[in-house]
A and B are shown apart, each in its own frame.
Chain A
Amino acid sequence: DQQVKQNSPSLSVQEGRISILNCDYTNSMFDYFLWYKKYPAEGPTFLISISSIKDKNEDGRFTVFLNKSAKHLSLHIVPSQPGDSAVYFCAASRVNTGNQFYFGTGTSLTVIP
């Protein structure tokens, strides 16, 4: 049962434009969400996170938005750069429950120069 879903397997964006990656979850008990970036043949690297007590968290060009009522989060990258081309995974977890992460299937972002 896939509790975290990324329905868009791929996304192409022109350099300088905004990239929006979406993620949906089904378990209302999740209260912490993370985005990871992964290059081929490498492990995921942590990008940004958000707690359920917030609806927005920003770090440089990366902003994560959380809509708890819709069980939806999104990652905005602006402006997009060619080096952002990678697979992006969202993950959900519950604080103080052993740190088990539930990952989505990933969205492959291609930023076109």
Chain B
Amino acid sequence: GAVVSQHPSWVICKSGTSVKIECRSLDFQATTMFWYRQFPKQSLMLMATSNEGSKATYEQGVEKDKFLINHASLTLSTLTVTSAHPEDSSFYICSATVAGGPNAVDTQYFGPGTRLTVL
């Protein structure tokens, strides 16, 4: 159980184009989904928190107009990188949460990630 998928797994695009990445919880309904970005040999950096039916909450330094997040349902969140540039090339990972107990954080189940390369 608790499987999260991402599509596509990798994408190469030209500078200036937009790319949409989908994150789906396959066998559970996720109240919250998170989007992370990972540079080589660095930690996962949280970009934004997404709740179904409401606007995403972006972390400091993340441009919300560039990284558009839509959380259409309890099983689907999308990240659109608008007008992508080479510096946006990275590994993007989403996670979906399952409610934890009163003395625990919600466990995050991660998708397999999407490798974006902008030429």
Asked if residues B43 and A104 are in contact (CB atoms below 8 Å), the reply is yes
Chain A residues proximal to chain B, CB less than 8 Å: 2, 4, 9, 32, 34, 36, 41-46, 49, 51, 53, 89, 93-95, 98-101, 103-106
Residues of A within 8 A of B108 (CB): 46, 99, 101
Asked if residues B115 and A46 are in contact (CB atoms below 8 Å), the reply is no
Chain B residues proximal to chain A, CB less than 8 Å: 4, 6, 9, 32, 34, 41-46, 49, 93, 95, 97, 103-113, 115
Asked if residues B97 and A95 are in contact (CB atoms below 8 Å), the reply is no
For the complex, give the distance between the alpha carbons of A53 and B103 in Å. 10
Asked if residues B104 and A32 are in contact (CB atoms below 8 Å), the reply is yes
Number of residue pairs across A and B with beta carbons under 8 Å? Answer: 64
Asked if residues A89 and B46 are in contact (CB atoms below 8 Å), the reply is no
- Name the prevailing secondary structure of the A interface residues: loop
CB-CB under 8 A for A2 and B43, given A45-B110, A99-B32, A99-B97? yes
Residues of A within 8 A of B112 (CB): 41-43
For the complex, give the distance between the alpha carbons of A4 and B42 in Å. 12
What is the CB-to-nearest-CB distance from B61 to chain A, in angstroms, rounded to a whole number? 12
What is the CB-to-nearest-CB distance from B78 to chain A, in angstroms, rounded to a whole number? 17
- Nearest first, the 7 closest Cβ-Cβ pairs linking A and B are A43-B110, A103-B43, A103-B44, A93-B105, A105-B43, A44-B110, A43-B112
Residues of A within 8 A of B109 (CB): 46
- In this complex, what residue of B is CB-closest to A95? B105
What is the CB-to-nearest-CB distance from B103 to chain A, in angstroms, rounded to a whole number? 6
- In this complex, what residue of B is CB-closest to A53? B103
What is the CB-to-nearest-CB distance from B64 to chain A, in angstroms, rounded to a whole number? 17
What is the CB-to-nearest-CB distance from B72 to chain A, in angstroms, rounded to a whole number? 21
Asked if residues B115 and A43 are in contact (CB atoms below 8 Å), the reply is no
What is the CB-to-nearest-CB distance from A6 to chain B, in angstroms, rounded to a whole number? 8
Residues of A within 8 A of B111 (CB): 43
